[in-house]
Structures are given as C-alpha cells and as structure tokens.
Amino acid sequence: MEIALAAAEAAALCRPDVIAAYPITPNTHIPEHLSDIVAEGRLDAEFICVESEHSALSACMGASGAGARVFTATSSQGLLYMAEIMAIASSMRLPVVMALGNRALSGPLNIWNDHSDIMSQRDTGWISLFASHGQEVIDMVIQSFRIAEDRDVMLPININLDGFQLTHVVEVMDFPLQEEVDAFLPVYKPYASLHPDHPCSMGTLGLPEIFAEATRAREAAVVNSRKTILKVWDEWEKRFGRRYEPIESYKMKGAEVAVLTMGSMGETAEVAIDALREKGVPVGLLKLKLWRPFPYEDLQKAVKGVKSLIVMDRAVSFGGPGGPVASEIRSALYDDPNRPDLTNYIFGLGGRDVTVEDFITMIDKVRLADKKRPKEHYEFYGVRGE
Amino acid sequence: MANKRWPENWQDVTPGCIVSEPGSASQYHTGDWRAQRPIWDNTKCIKCGVCYIFCPEGCIIEKEDGFFEADLDYCKGCGICAHECWPLAIKMVEEG
C-alpha cells in the first residue's frame, strides 16, 4: 500500500472526530484518502473541506478545544500558511495530530522532498517525530494520538514523512487491528473543553506580567513530554513487538565514524553502512526519530567513543552556522570534552536523490581526510559547481 | 491593575493559560486606563439611546429617570458616545 494511504488508514484506526485539511502535493493523498474513508462510512468523523491550511489548523484547534480528537496533514507552503497558528496550538495545549509530508519550501517552487518545512517550525513547541519507512509512519501516527492526549503532555504533535520518498512509495506494512488500537488508545478525555456546562476561556490575552511564566511552563511541558513518549514506546513494544527509541543505533558497535540521519535517508544510509562494514570500516548509523523534545541524553550516549560524527541535513539555515540539525547537535555536544569531530553535509535539497554511493563518498571523504584540512561549518554535497 | 492577582510562580500557571472562571473579565476594571470621561448634559439629551448602542465596552447604563451615564469602572474614555450623540449632549472632559 502507498505509505500516504497507510498514514490515512492509521489515522482512521484512531477514530478521530474531526479532520480538517487542505490538499497540497505531496501530502494530498493523506486527507484525500481520509475523506474517502469517511464518505464510505468506515469512519464516523466530521471531514471539513476547509478553504486553506490556515483554516485547517484553526478548525482543528477549535474542535480540539471543544473536546474532539483531531487530525490534519500538510506540507511545505501549507505548513507556512498554518504558521500563525502553530505556536498557538502549542501554547493552548491542544493535542492536534498532524502528518507532514516533508517538502521543500519555495523558491523556486519545488514540490519534492526536503526538511526545510519542518525546520522552519521547529521552535513552535510541537512534539516532532521522524519516520524513516512506512511501518514507522503507521506506528507513529497511532502513537501520536496517545502521546498528545496524555494528561502529562497535552501538546500538538507532528509526524514527519518524506514527501514522495515516503508518501508515494508502496511498501508492505502491518496494520494493527481496530480492537488492538482501541485497547491502546482510550477515548479522549480533554483536560478542559468549551462545554457550556463548565465554561472556560481558551487563548486569552497574556500581559507582560504573565507571559514569561506562561512560556516557561510551556517549555517545561515540551521537555517533560519525553517521559510519556518513552513510556508509550515501551508499551508499543510490548503490544506490537516493534521497538522505538529517540535515536536508533545501527551497527554502532566499535564505530569510530558515525552518520546521523533523519527520515527516509536513513534507509539508504543503512545499505552504505553495510557495504563499508563488509570492508571492515568501523562505521555506524544513528537514526534520529525524536526531534522535539531534543534527545540530549540519547545523543550523548550514542556518540560515546565515536571520533567523527557526520550529520546529514536536508535543509539550509541561510547565513546560519550550519544546517539546522547539525547546529543543534553541535550545540548539544558543545560541553562534552570528549565530543566527536562534527562534519555537516547539506544534501538532498528539493528532492535531489541521495544514493548509497553518495553516502559512501561522504563517509570516505571524512574518515580519510587530511586532519590539517580546515573545517568549514557545513558543506553542500552534490551541488553542481560546488 | 492592582486588583489583578498574578500566579506567583510559573508552576502555578494553568495549562494553556485556561481561565476557568466564567465572566472573569468583569474583575478587570479597565476604567483605570481612562484619560477623559464622558459627561452628559441632560438638558440636551433626548434619551435616544445611541450612546448606549455605540459604546464598544457596553458600559453605558440607562438610569431610572431614562437618562444615561457611563460605568466608570470600565469606561476607557474612547469618546465614541460623544462622537455619535446627535444633540451633542455628551462632552469629553479630561480626567484629574
């Protein structure tokens, strides 16, 4: 089944009450298929065909405030159109679940895969998960409702799947049964809802006397959500036998060089790591699945003993000190006196394909480099003329 | 704003800054913000109620004798009532 359709089926298994979404390539199949599921009568939900992504997230927020379980999906420019409300959904502590088919931000107009869309929204206070293949997409969509709606969390959450590289790829996947999802995901009991029997105000004005405290409280909520995420992942492993960790290690035993990826490029990197390990090269792979809250402890543990870390970025932070992922990793490891050397490659922009050979070339370039070579903060790979 | 009680610490802020007390905005006396106040000249007032309708705060009240006055706990002194009054019965006078 196509992964985007699988994401829709997974969302439908979670029995959302309201789905408000607007189509945008490469994400369209997700809301489109959900509208089919609702029309067929397989899901009793209100599907609102809104006029824009701004309305989509607004409608989802309003519905969530009224106590409904909500789901939406978008990409790139659609996410930017929602940008005004992204921070508000987080500050209002509403458990909106969103699937993001990661697509490049325009200019020039590009509908293909890169991570610039989610990277532009990383500071909005949403929990962010990254899936690297279809099974992870299904699992993470279902886990997300459980994580977001937990009383200790109450935060919006986005599941990132690479546009086209994942959304339009057909894979064999395992769906949990409806009974299994119902057992895992209880009926949503909101902390507060806009019910006239117990009226409340949501999204009120916050004067300077309170804004700092409110923001501090929100940061605490995002950071503390880690406990619930790990607990939910433990339960998922018990129920379904598939293990999830904030950073998954692949062939890291004795690795001197490690590659860090996010999303579907991890699958390609695995093949490259296998090939290099065959030749006896001590190289391993770290697949980052939990982006927000940032997995500090897991990162520190994962790079212990690693001499050289290669961080792959699929987005640019123009004029910044490296790609978004590398800047954060570098900053997180700054205080560790034994931190590995960090090389940042920026590649795969706007859907540019990244192959196994590309990974091998990049890894060889780093591990065989002349140590006296001056280190730039980041390097573009695969750009003609570079 | 002395009548507002702020939570002492960030741990005491309600999740999402939800306000659970309905109608609590009435505890916030925005009359403190006023720089001018409306004064009615009841010899000119024709009791049409236009000031009452146009007040954006909804704080103009009809007295028992049918004339109007502003509730100074909430009146911000915007002057819309004086602007809309047909017989020019309302004058905005500086506070203090």
What are the strands of the beta sheet with A341-346, ordered from one edge?
A247-250, A283-288, A257-261, A308-313, A341-346, A379-380
Q: Yes or no: is domain A3-240 CATH 3.40.50.970?
A: yes
Do A91 and B19 lie within an 8 Å CB cutoff?
no
Rounded distance between C-alpha atoms, residue A329 and residue A300, angstroms: 10
**Which residue in chain B has the smallest CA separation from A208?**
B6
pLDDT at B3 over 60: no
> Could you tell me if residue B53 is inside a domain?
yes
Rounded distance between C-alpha atoms, residue A29 and residue A11, angstroms: 13
Q: How many domains does chain B have?
A: 1
Give the pLDDT of residue B27.
Answer: 87
Is residue B94 classed as helix, strand or coil in its secondary structure? Answer: strand
Which of A93, A206, A212 shows the shortest C-beta gap to B15? A93
ipTM confidence: 0.80
Rounded distance between C-alpha atoms, residue B70 and residue A164, angstroms: 63
- Could you state, in order of their start, the residue ranges of all structural domains in chain A? 3-240, 247-380
Q: Beta-strand (E) ranges in A63-149?
A: 70-74, 97-102, 127-130
As a whole number of Å, the end-to-end CA separation of chain A is 39
pLDDT average, residue stretch A371-386: 81
Rounded distance between C-alpha atoms, residue A311 and residue A259, angstroms: 6
A93-102, A270-279, A287-296, B6-15: segment of lowest average pLDDT: B6-15
Mutation target vs B (from A154, A204, A223; most B CBs, 10 A cutoff): A204
Window A:194-213, CB contacts with B under 8 Å: 198-204, 206-207, 209-210, 212-213
Give the pLDDT of residue B7.
Answer: 77
Q: What confidence tier does A370 reach under pLDDT thresholds 50, 70, 90?
A: confident
> Could you tell me if residue B74 is inside a domain?
yes
Domains A3-240 and A247-380 share a fold: yes
pLDDT average, residue stretch A323-339: 95
Q: Beta-strand (E) ranges in chain A?
A: 18-21, 46-49, 70-74, 97-102, 127-130, 157-162, 247-250, 257-261, 283-288, 290-292, 308-313, 341-346, 379-380
A57-73 burial, b at 16+ Cβ within 10 Å, e below that, comes to: bbbbbbbbbeebbbbbb
Cβ pair A307, A342 in contact under 8 A: no
Rounded distance between C-alpha atoms, residue A151 and residue A89, angstroms: 16
pLDDT average, residue stretch A144-165: 96
Give the pLDDT of residue B1.
Answer: 42
Residue whose token pair is 């359709």: A5
Give the pLDDT of residue B22.
Answer: 84
Q: Give, in words, the CATH class of A247-380.
A: alpha beta
Rounded distance between C-alpha atoms, residue A107 and residue A115, angstroms: 14
CATH of the domain at B83: 3.30.70.20
pLDDT at A116 over 90: yes
Give the pLDDT of residue A331.
Answer: 95
Cβ pair A61, A86 in contact under 8 A: no
Q: What confidence tier does A375 reach under pLDDT thresholds 50, 70, 90?
A: confident
> Could you tell me if residue B16 is inside a domain?
no
- The first and second tokens of residue A94, run together, are 């509403």
DSSP conformation class of B56 = T
Dihedral class, residue A15 (left if φ above 0, else alpha if ψ from -120 to 50, else beta)? left
pLDDT at A290 over 90: yes
Give the pLDDT of residue A374.
Answer: 55
Residue B46 lies in domain? 29-94
Do B17 and A204 lie within an 8 Å CB cutoff?
yes
Residue whose token pair is 């212990």: A304
> Could you tell me if residue B86 is inside a domain?
yes
For residue A153, the distance in angstroms to the closest alpha carbon of chain B comes to 10
